[in-house]
Amino acid sequence: MAQVTLKGNPVQVNGQLPQAGSKAPAFSLVAGNLSDVSLKDFAGKRKVLNIFPSVDTPTCATSVRKFNAQANELSNTVVLCISADLPFAQARFCGAEGLENVQNLSTLRGSEFIENYGVAIADGPLKGLTARAVVVLDEDDKVLHSELVKEIAEEPNYDAALAVLK
Catalytic residue among 60, 94, 136, 144: 60
Q: How far is Cα of residue 68 from the mean position of the Cα atoms in its chain?
A: 13
| Strand partners for 130 | 120
Is 60 a known active-site residue? yes
Q: Across the beta sheet with 2-6, what order do the strands follow? A: 2-6, 9-14, 120-121
- Residue ranges of alpha helices (H) inside the chain are 58-71, 87-97, 111-116, 158-163
> What residues are labeled active site?
60
